[in-house]
Structure formats: C-alpha cells, structure tokens
Amino acid sequence: MENQIAVECRGVVKDFGTGSTKQRVLHGIDWQIPIGATTFLVGPSGCGKTTLISIIAGLLTATQGYVRILDSEITKMRRGRVVRFRADHLGFIFQQFNLLPSLTAVENAAVSLVVQGSTLASAKRQASVLLDRLGMEKNKLKYPNQLSGGQQQRVAIARALVHNPQIVISDEPTASLDAETGREVMELLRQVAAAHNRAVIVVTHDNRIYPFADHIATMSDGRIESFQKNTA
Amino acid sequence: MFAIALKMLFHDRAKYLGLVLGVAFSTLLINQQLGIFIGLITRAGAVIVDVPEADIWVMDPGVKNLDTIFPLRDTELGRVRGVPGVAWAVPLYKSNVIIRTGDGELEASLLIGVDDSTLIGLPPEVVMGNIDDLRRPDAVAVSVEGFRKVWRNQPLSLGKIAELNDRRAVLVAILKDSPKFTSSITFFTRYSHALQYTNNGRNQMSFIVARSAEGSTTEEVSRTIVSRTGLQAMSAKDFRWKAIMYVVQNTGIPISIGTVVALGVLVGIAVVGLMFNLFVLENLKQFAVLKAIGTSNMRLIGMVFLQAAVVGFVGFSVGLFGATMFFETAGKSPTFQGFYLPWYVAAASGAVAAAIIILAALLAMRRVLFVDPAIVFRG
C-alpha cells in the first residue's frame, strides 16, 4: 500500500510579493508522499514548510508547478472545487488546536461533517463515537476553555478524522503540549489516522516525536534536502 | 452550519446583548418619536375628523388652518346651500373661551357651536347623556378629557354647572372627541348658543360644513362653491391635510423630531455596525478555520447574514415592544391622549433596522470573504 502516492508535488515554486519586493519561498519542490504512512516534514523556521503544506492543502496557490492529490491536480482546480475537495478529502490538525470556543468538544469534533453537509445532530452522533475511542468520554460536553491542551488536541484529531479523509495534514501537533502529552497525542494519531490507510503529513520541529515517523522529509531554504525512510 | 453560526453568536453574551440593544434603542427611538410626531400633527386637523358627516369645508379665502379664522357673514350659508351639488350645508362655530374649573382655576378651552336643528358637527361617540338635551337652555357637552381637566378627580357625571366666559353652562352630555392641538378641553353647544358665549361682533360663522349630493364629487362641488361664492372651499380630507402641513411648515416640530430620529438611526448604524464588525473580527480566526476545513465563501456569508438577521429581528422586536409599551402606558395619561404607534411607522422602523443590519453585515462580510485560511497554520 505504501507504494501508492497520496500527494505528488512537481516543480512547485512559490513567490510572495512582486517586482523588487518579490521573494521566492519555494524553489521547485519535487516530493511524493505515500499513502498509509506518517510522513514528517521537518526543517528550521522560515524554510517554507508551512507554505508548502498550505499549497498542498489548496489554501495557497503555487506560482509554478503542480500538486496532485489522490490523482486530482489541486493546482488546476477552480476555487470552489478546491474548497469542496478539502472538505471531502483532507483533515487538519493545527498547532493552536483552533477549536471553536462556542462549541462543545463533541460539536467541535462534528464540524467537519457539518461542513460536508450533515446536520449537527447526526454529525454529533458520529463524532461522539470517535471521541470515545480517543478517551474523551467524560469531556464531550465541555467547552474548549474547560479542557487541557492534550484534551483539546484530541478533539482536534477527532475533528480531522470524523469525516474519514484520505489525507491528514498536521501542523506542529505537539508544539503546545508537554512531552508526555505530545507522545500520547502522536500515538493516538498513529493509531487512528495512519492505521486506516491514510497519508498523514506532520510538520514539526519537535525531534522528540521523530520516532513516530515512517518517512522524514527535511527542508531547508525552500527546498527538500532529503526524503528518507525513518530508521530511528 | 447555521446552527454553528447561531452558537457563535449567542456564545459571547455581552456582545450579543450590545448588538440587540443597539438595534432595539434605534427602533424604540424611531417609533416613539415618529409616533409622537404623527400624533402631534394629526391633532392639527382634529376638528375636521370630528365632523365625519361633512365632506366639504367652506371658509374665508385667507384661512390656512383651523386656528386662524376670519368669520363669515351669515348670508354666506344661504349662498352655499344654493350651489348645485350641495346636499346640505350647516354653520360651524369655533372659538376659544375661558372656563373656570371646579378648583376655581381658569383654563383655555375650545368651544364648538354646531347647527341648531341637526346638531351636525358633534363627534359621533357619546360617552354619557343625550345630545338632544343640547337643545335645552344653557346646555353644553364636554369632551371626556375636558371633563377630567375641569372637574379633576371626579367621576364622569352630568348636570355640572360651569362658567364659560363668565356665563352659565349646564353639562348635559359627555363626548369622545379627537385630541386637539391647542387645548384638551372642548365644549360643544348649539351654534346660536355658542354666539352668546363669545359675542365677538357682527360676523360669527367660522366655517360652513357641507355635504355633496349623490352623483357629485366633492372636488366638483368645492370648485363650484369657490366660483359662485368667492369663498374658499375644499374637501374635508384636503383641509385636514392643509392644516397638518401648516403645522409642519410653520413650527419647529419636524426639525426637532427629525433630528432625534436621525440621531437614532445614526447611533443604530454606529453602535450596531461597529459592534458587529468587532464581533466578526474577534471570530475571524474561527471563520478562517471553517474556511480551511472546507466551508465555502457562500456558506460563510450565509452564516454572517443569519447572525445579523437574528440580531436585527430580536433587536427590532425588543425595540418595538418597548415603543408599544410606551404608547400603551403613556397613552393612559389625559394629556397624552391620541398618541399612538401607526403601523406604517413600525414598518418604516423595521426597514431602517433591516438597513442597519444589512449595512453592518456587508461591512463585516468583507473581512470574512478576504480572510486568508492559511492563517490557521500560523501559530
């Protein structure tokens, strides 16, 4: 299964600004991310990691090159289709969790299904099952400000997975967590995300969680320097 | 998504309350002030409303309103009656008299003298007594509010003795009339009897009120009266409108009330617009998250408009309820009689509330449309 490609980037270039203020952030990225594996994207701050995953997620457009996701070329899609594509095929986990403070844990976890068109009630039923699996049985009706960082990240994981996407993009998922909670979250992520034949892309600085990676891509100055199987 | 939009709106209770109160305050101010304005200016034509039988009013060519009257000669009545298309015409007397109240105080009062034989000119609603008793010597009728002002704290009753311009008057009926612009006390009596209370000179007839015959239009008959008599004649509706416009054009009422209404609208726009903008700004990251995980711009716009619509509807309802309660409670005061909230004022304030909320939503919508979903990846 790992031989199948979830995401393929070819010659991806990204410039910000125009004229004299133009700055090239990505210099022709070629990269293939396999299905059924957890792939880490690592590198120093400002090397272009966030820009690259934003382009893969269709949140930014590439200046040159293309990104193919699950055989669909996202860089050629019209904006409306990209938005729909994200709702159907991608799940997101953010560094700051980005839960909606006005929603309970189960409602937050249900949001991805609601975005797809489910009613809140039916989405909550599915989200509730997933939160149980993530050990959040007793906290489902709590609001984000009543949850610890680790609990909030579990809710964010549930939100990213509840609609069963093929690709999960996770940006610094452990950056706001202590080491122990970070390891728990990564373990969960590996169990519930990667185990279901998904491609999980994790952008991180946190070398303590490198053991959870199947592949590690190292970025530097807008280029992928290396991409190899993790032997750690 | 709409359920989520509403949860976002209700979560920040302080801001939600502020938004609702902004719309409510604006609605309340507009309805209260315009209701008072309508109530005030319609008083200018109250005497006309109280003579529903007549559809034509005849008067001196110089008359502009009901308060500045130049009396007509009695012979004019015969001339008007002789005009083709006039079914009937009767005299109407209107003057100010001084009344001594039960407490011995003096009050300005309006005296209406109606046709001796037909009693046309009396308000149709009799609260107490029999209007035929007006044919008795010294008999007068009084308005309900007039009774309450002249005989304070006394229950409505007949047989009371009053002094009108120092002449005896016996109360035989109490009538429900329209609130007047200048006085809340109105006495009614026969035309011939009214002249005895004032005795201002040779010509006494304030107006001639007439009815157009079947088959003739009011306008046609009015034109004929003008051409045959040289007097001013117009339909009751036109004269009422003329009296109202006189007040509008010659007093500071429209400007002062208009200023308050404009302030209400401006405060509404400023408070609601800024606060709604702030609400969206504070929730911008949440909108960005929704955008990142696949919510279309159209659905986000729908969410913002739903939030705005709920604020507008609740705020308008609260404001309208407040205005209704104001007129309901204040309307019980004798001096506030006749003020009410017309449906068209409520509808207009609804349109203003809708405009305020649409403007606020449009301003806020820009932020939602242009928020970069990629900000969710920036810690």
Instruction: Provide the ipTM.
Output: 0.86
CA distance B296 to chain A (A): 6
- CATH number (domain holding residue A89): 3.40.50.300
CA distance A5 to chain B (A): 22
Flag whether pLDDT at A10 surpasses 90: yes
CB atoms within 10 A of CB A56: 27
* Token couple for A124: 């909550």
Enumerate residue ranges in chain B where pLDDT < 50: none
Helices (H), B151-252: 191-198, 218-229, 236-250
Which pLDDT value is given to residue B373? 82
Cβ–Cβ below 8 Å for B379 and A87: no
Say how far apart CA A30 and CA A44 lie, in whole Å: 19
Cβ–Cβ below 8 Å for A102 and B376: no
Using DSSP bridges, classify how beta strands A64-69 and A72-73 pair: parallel, antiparallel or unpaired: antiparallel
Using DSSP bridges, classify how beta strands B139-143 and B167-176 pair: parallel, antiparallel or unpaired: parallel
Where in the sequence is the domain holding A150, given as residue range(s)? 5-229
Q: pLDDT band at residue A1, thresholds of 50, 70 and 90?
A: very low
Measured between CA atoms, the residue of chain A closest to residue B287 is A100
Say how far apart CA A23 and CA A19 lie, in whole Å: 9
The strand ranges marked E within chain B are 56-59, 86-100, 106-114, 125-129, 139-143, 161-164, 167-176, 186-190, 207-212, 232-235
Q: How many residues does chain B have?
A: 379
Which of A56, A90, A92, A102 is the best residue to mutate to test the B interface, defined by the most B CB atoms within 10 Å of its own CB? A102
Amino acid at A108: N
Which pLDDT value is given to residue A46? 85
- Model confidence over B244-288: pLDDT tens digits? 888 888 888 888 888 988 888 888 888 888 888 888 888 888 888
Are residues B360 and B277 in contact, defined by beta-carbon separation less than 8 angstroms? yes
- Model confidence over A165-213: pLDDT tens digits? 889 998 888 877 777 878 887 887 787 666 677 888 999 888 888 888 8
pTM recorded for the entire structure: 0.76
CA distance B244 to chain A (A): 54
Q: Is B24 helix (H, G, I), strand (E, B) or coil?
A: helix
Say how far apart CA B76 and CA B81 lie, in whole Å: 9
Domain count of the fold of chain A: 1
Mean of pLDDT over chain A: 87
Q: Which residues of A touch B294 (CB under 8 A)?
A: 83-88, 90, 112, 115-116
Q: Which residues of B touch A54 (CB under 8 A)?
A: 374, 377
Report how far apart the first and last C-alpha atoms of chain B are (Å, whole number). 25
Q: How many residues does chain A have?
A: 232
Are residues B280 and B304 in contact, defined by beta-carbon separation less than 8 angstroms? yes
CB atoms within 10 A of CB B351: 10
Flag whether pLDDT at A124 surpasses 90: yes
CB atoms within 10 A of CB B227: 10
Chain B contact for A111, CB < 8 A? yes
Measured between CA atoms, the residue of chain A closest to residue B4 is A103
Measured between CA atoms, the residue of chain A closest to residue B283 is A100
Flag whether pLDDT at A229 surpasses 90: no
- Pick from B289, B373, B379: which is nearest to A175 by CB? B379
- Residues of B in CB contact (< 8 Å) with A are 1, 3-4, 7-8, 10-12, 285-286, 289-297, 372-374, 376-379
Q: Which residues of A touch B297 (CB under 8 A)?
A: 83
Q: Which residues of B touch A80 (CB under 8 A)?
A: 296
Say how far apart CA A103 and CA A120 lie, in whole Å: 11
Chain B contact for A77, CB < 8 A? no
* Token couple for A4: 């199948």
Which pLDDT value is given to residue A12? 92
- Pick from B11, B291, B377: which is nearest to A102 by CB? B11
Chain B contact for A102, CB < 8 A? yes
Are residues A162 and A154 in contact, defined by beta-carbon separation less than 8 angstroms? no
Whose CA is closest to B26, among B307, B359, B362, B357? B357
Flag whether pLDDT at A43 surpasses 50: yes
Q: Is B245 helix (H, G, I), strand (E, B) or coil?
A: helix
* Token couple for B299: 């659905």
The strand ranges marked E within B224-326 are 232-235
Q: Is A151 helix (H, G, I), strand (E, B) or coil?
A: helix
Which pLDDT value is given to residue A3? 55
The strand ranges marked E within chain A are 5-16, 23-34, 37-42, 64-69, 72-73, 90-93, 167-171, 199-204, 215-220, 223-229
Q: Which residues of A touch B7 (CB under 8 A)?
A: 100, 102-103, 107
* Token couple for A118: 């489910």
Chain B contact for A61, CB < 8 A? no
DSSP conformation letters of B29-58: HHHHHHHHHHHHHHHTTHHHHT-TT--EEE
Say how far apart CA A159 and CA A111 lie, in whole Å: 7
Using DSSP bridges, classify how beta strands A37-42 and A72-73 pair: parallel, antiparallel or unpaired: unpaired
* Token couple for A76: 């050629």
Number of cross-chain residue pairs from A and B with Cβ atoms under 8 Å apart: 82
